[in-house]
Amino acid sequence: MSARASRHPPRPLCVGITGHRPNRMPAPAWPRIRKQLAQVMEEIEAAHAGLRPMLLSGLAEGADRLAAFAALGRGWRLGAVLAFHRTRYEQDFPEPHAVGEFRALLAAAEMLEEPAKGADAGKPPEDGYDAVGRRLLALSSILIAVWDGEGSRGRGGTVEVIAQARERGIPVIWINARKDVPPRRLEPAACAVDKGAAPARRRGKRAARAAHG
């Protein structure tokens, strides 16, 4: 390698993560999901040798964080794309350890996109989650999805992000959130995602948090 070439770092490869929160990810499945996330990331590295991977995550509880920790453990860079300003977002995490995880991952992120404080005032929480999904897809070349295979429970959730990715032709690698089956690549017409499922009827922060993912 020439001296001139060595001054240029590898081009980044942006990989998005979408997936459920703990309410749709049974705790006994978490060790298997962690293992499959590492497997998928290893395969992405092998298929894109010479590129520098960055995981883009919304840092929600559940799949977002499992993937973020797996990526950091493999030496990937971490990018955070938040649904709300951090002070508002922390209200979604009822337990102190969940807030601590969020702050630790935020500190580890090399790239951060964060709405201004108060930008969500007067808006339904789904707006923030929907914006995150769209932004992740705008930045990502590949999407990893931790999905239970069931229909949508609200705007801005995992099912909608998968559907949008497939419409755009972004490769989607599906890790089943419930069943112990191998990860699977979803081609544009490989699997019918239920975009017509009725949206969640509950409203408010708690309802939106449950529906998101």
Q: Which residues does residue 12 pair with via DSSP β-bridges, in sequence order? A: 52
Q: If DSSP codes are grouped into helix, strand and coil, which group holds residue 184?
A: strand
Q: Is the pLDDT of residue 30 over 70?
A: yes
The domain that holds 15 is classified in CATH as: 3.40.50.450
- Domain containing 74 equals 9-211
Residue 154 located in a structural domain: yes
pTM for this prediction: 0.84
Per residue in 71-109, pLDDT (tens digit) is: 999 999 999 999 999 999 999 998 999 999 999 999 999
Count of domains forming the chain: 1
Residue 4 located in a structural domain: no
Q: Where are the alpha helices (DSSP H) in the chain?
A: 3-6, 30-47, 63-73, 86-89, 96-108, 125-139, 158-168, 205-211
Residue 1 located in a structural domain: no
* Residues 6 or more apart whose Cβ sits within 8 Å of residue 113: 79, 80, 81, 82, 135
